[in-house]
Amino acid sequence: MIERRRTDILVLGAGGAGLLAALHAKDAAPALEVTIAVKGLLGKCGCTRMVQGGYNVAIAQGDSAERHFMDTLEGGKWLNDQDLAWTLVTGAQVRIRELENRWGCFFDRNPDGTIHQKAFAGQTFDRTVHKGDLTGIEIVNRLAEQVWARGINRMEEHRAVALIRSRDGARLAGVLLIDMRSGGLLFVQARAVLLGTGGGPTMYKYHTPSGDKACDGMAMALRAGLALRDMEMVQFHPTGVLAGPGTRMTGTIIEEGLRGAGGYLLGGDGQRFMHKYDPRGERATRDIVSRSMQREIRAGNVNEAGGLWIEMKHLGPERVRREFKGMVERCADMGFDLAAGRVPVVPTAHYMMGGVVFRPDGATDLPGLFAAGEDTGGVHGANRLGGNGVANSTVFGGIAGDSMAAWAPREGAFEEPDEAALAEAVALVEAPFGRAPRPLSPIRDALLELMWDKAGILRDGPGLADCARGLAALEAELDATGVDGRERAFNLTWHDWLNLKSLLLVSRAIVVAAAAREESRGAHWREDFPHTADAAAGLAATRVTLRDGAIALEWQPVAFTRLRPGESLLAAE
């Protein structure tokens, strides 16, 4: 028995994308009923809350949207959708003021009252706005308060599991969800839906995103027939802490601003190594630093924990304590002295540049479905600049909220769902209850190791082929593994099964795209194809879809709508 409800606008996820979308939609169309459905607790889940370093925006004297745009394209190795990237850099200038003046966030300031901006790797200007070194808590707390203060419905601990099309298949009718508190299923019919579940490469052995993220949004999009682009582009952050086995702190990051401020990375031999790989040393982009670290690790230049070190003490322990208070305290909690000692680190899977194909107004190819934030692809191209992530989710979340508020009364309708598709989705979700329960942890552990070893920072054709075979075997194993369904309320084993289902599907998409791209670009490094193809000769993005259970790939030429590779907007400055 499925409960049925309806709301004008349904927002999936409560990170920067979801919260801004709900607030904008409600402000733009107060008469519409807006509902947020979120897997965790509102204000307490997702990665926006975990943002440490800050928010990129060109608001300082001497900086410009054009400069931010060029850095974003150079960082993205020209694979970006340029209209999306331009919307990001110009939209960030509006959104940062809005975050302070409309939603009540306070960011750190200079003595003259201007907003303080710090250095982040890979950028030609210090443009990262922050609140100490735990910026996301400020943003999410203030946005959540604003949501609570408005008449926005909240469905907390509700997990979206399927996007259901209308009877004629032409548009979205609504979403199937699980009320995690009771285990009951419900179908929410909506005129417009925002997909803002935040991606999250938690299929890798070391990863940073919050535990609620399992690529559910991308998996739902694939199953609903939508295309994902650039799925081979997985970003690894250089400084995940090696806190020891058996703690979820392992893999969590200490922020990029440490390297921006002049922090050293040291091998197991206690020596700096980054200048061997890049003249910018530790301030090179994340992809280069992560790869260099992985090479040192493979070469055996490791500490006793099997990783490398970050060291800050040469900057003065007092300064480090003052400027990186949150990081110093976090490291102390794990038993490390960041200010005056060394912290063991390893690269860690952080962010997926790929995701649902969408347009600058937030619309997707499925009428009624909008998308924003880490679920989407195209903004960052082959690599995301640190600080462009939270800008992305808040800029496009707000835009999508405005778009949905305009679209829902004009073109949106309460469509009846395709009942066969709904029944199929219910069957998939309940599938493990019909089988003999077995532990899931061996499947999870094997997935994490497989993706880390074969589809991680350094890839090659034979490894990716092995990975594809391994994923198929794990999927068969998962499909044969049951879950005890006698108690469905907070049945975390059931949710873990569903998490693995999403992660395995999206892992397949990563591997197919990574095997197809026979060059190295941005975050995607092929040991067997180490060259980077000349972008001036034309570039194409990978697009994957799910057809008859298999991942199909096609190439979509990148339209250089504003600039061709090698050209610059700055020449005219």
Ligand X SMILES: Cc1cc2nc3c(=O)[nH]c(=O)nc-3n(C[C@H](O)[C@H](O)[C@H](O)COP(=O)(O)OP(=O)(O)OC[C@H]3O[C@@H](n4cnc5c(N)ncnc54)[C@H](O)[C@@H]3O)c2cc1C
Catalytic residue positions? 237, 259
Asked if 373 touches ligand X (CB under 6 A), the answer is yes
Residue range at the interface with ligand X (CB under 6 A); choices 311-319, 388-396, 445-453, 485-493: 388-396
Helices (H) and strands (E) in the chain, counts: 14, 19
**Interface with ligand X: number of residues (CB under 6 A):** 41
Q: Where are the beta strands (DSSP E) in 272-341?
A: 308-311
Taking CB under 6 A as the criterion, the residue among 160, 172, 366, 541 binding ligand X is 160
Residue range at the interface with ligand X (CB under 6 A); choices 211-219, 338-346, 435-443, 535-543: 211-219
Taking CB under 6 A as the criterion, the residue among 26, 32, 54, 517 binding ligand X is 54
Given the DSSP bridges, would you call strands 153-156 and 376-377 parallel, antiparallel or unpaired? unpaired
Asked if 157 touches ligand X (CB under 6 A), the answer is no
Nearest residue to ligand X, scored by beta-carbon proximity = 15
Give me the least distance between CB of 257 and ligand X, in Å please: 8
Give whichever of 65 and 553 is closer to ligand X, judged by the CB atom.
65
Give whichever of 249 and 516 is closer to ligand X, judged by the CB atom.
249
Asked if 378 touches ligand X (CB under 6 A), the answer is no
Asked if 253 touches ligand X (CB under 6 A), the answer is yes
Q: For the sheet containing 128-129, what is the strand order?
A: 55-56, 128-129, 117-118
Asked if 12 touches ligand X (CB under 6 A), the answer is yes
Could you give the CA distance from residue 308 to residue 323 in angstroms, rounded to a whole number? 23
Asked if 39 touches ligand X (CB under 6 A), the answer is yes
Could you give the CA distance from residue 6 to residue 153 in angstroms, rounded to a whole number? 11
Of 14, 74, 371, residue with least CA distance to 228: 371
Asked if 48 touches ligand X (CB under 6 A), the answer is yes
Asked if 40 touches ligand X (CB under 6 A), the answer is yes
Residue range at the interface with ligand X (CB under 6 A); choices 22-30, 36-44, 76-84, 94-102: 36-44
Summarize the chain as % helix, strand, coil (round to 5). 40, 20, 40
Asked if 15 touches ligand X (CB under 6 A), the answer is yes
Of 380, 303, 395, 389, residue with least CA distance to 350: 389
Give whichever of 39 and 459 is closer to ligand X, judged by the CB atom.
39
Could you give the CA distance from residue 56 to residue 420 in angstroms, rounded to a whole number? 45
The CA distances from residue 307 to 96, 247, 271, 348, 385, in Å, are: 37, 16, 13, 11, 24
Taking CB under 6 A as the criterion, the residue among 76, 174, 196, 381 binding ligand X is 196
Could you give the CA distance from residue 370 to residue 93 in angstroms, rounded to a whole number? 23
SS3 assignment, position 435: coil
State the residues that interact with ligand X by CB under 6 A. 12-18, 37-40, 45-48, 50-54, 159-160, 196-198, 208-209, 212-213, 216, 253, 351, 373-374, 386-391, 393
